[in-house]
Amino acid sequence: MTGSQNKQRKHMVLLGLVAVSMFGFAYALVPLYEIFCDITGFNGRTFSQTTAAEAPSEAIGREVTIQFLAKVGRGMPWEFRPTESRMQVRVGEVSETRYYARNYANQTVIGQAVPSVTPGFAAPSLHKIECFCFTQQSLEAGEEVEMPVRFYVDDDLPADVGTLSLSYSLYPVSASKMTSVPIEEVAAVHTEEHAAVHTEEHP
């Protein structure tokens, strides 16, 4: 092999390594962005926890609508959805809802839910007392569970906000060598539910 061929081969290997590195960096941008949002509260994301002692002692007359949404991250073989699409709550009153999860993999899978609230500027007014997003969730193969969320809306919510959306994106924490029921089957469930919610909101 000539010196010129050696140089060409080295260049090809180097370009391949650069391409793989760029792909890995791009793949990592999503979780890095999530972490940034969690720390700063940017884009309505927050993991902040409120204790029951900090909750208001009584509710006021104002009511707001809370919409519940769910998204399953890439590579996560779970069905994940709210058990109800919306709830009418009184400001200052502690309310509870639940999210359903089922592991379709043939082994235990650990997940982490990342919450967000929209509109983002109103996110500090929604306080979570109990939430599955505070810790990682582990489900065995085929296991299903309903996970509670206890929360309240503070009376500092801007007067022009009548609806808040509480959304959770679920990501795998450990997903090596997983085999599962095809994700398309899980995605189909979410597509049907999303269409139903959209129909309710925009008849």
Q: pLDDT (tens digit, 9 = 90+) per residue, 90-140?
A: 999 999 999 999 999 999 999 999 999 999 999 999 999 999 999 999 999
Report which of residues 8 and 19 the model is more confident about.
Answer: 8
Say which DSSP state 20 is in: H
Measured CA to CA, the distance from residue 125 to residue 27 in angstroms comes to: 32
Instruction: For domain 45-201, give the CATH superfamily.
Output: Ctag/Cox11 (2.60.370.10)
Q: Where are the domains of the chain?
A: 1-40, 45-201
CB of 110 closer than 8 Å to CB of 137: yes
pTM to 2 decimal places: 0.63
Transcribe 38-102 into DSSP letters.
HHH-GGGB---B--GGGS-SS--S-EEEEEEEEEEPTT--EEEEESSSEEEEETT--EEEEEEEE
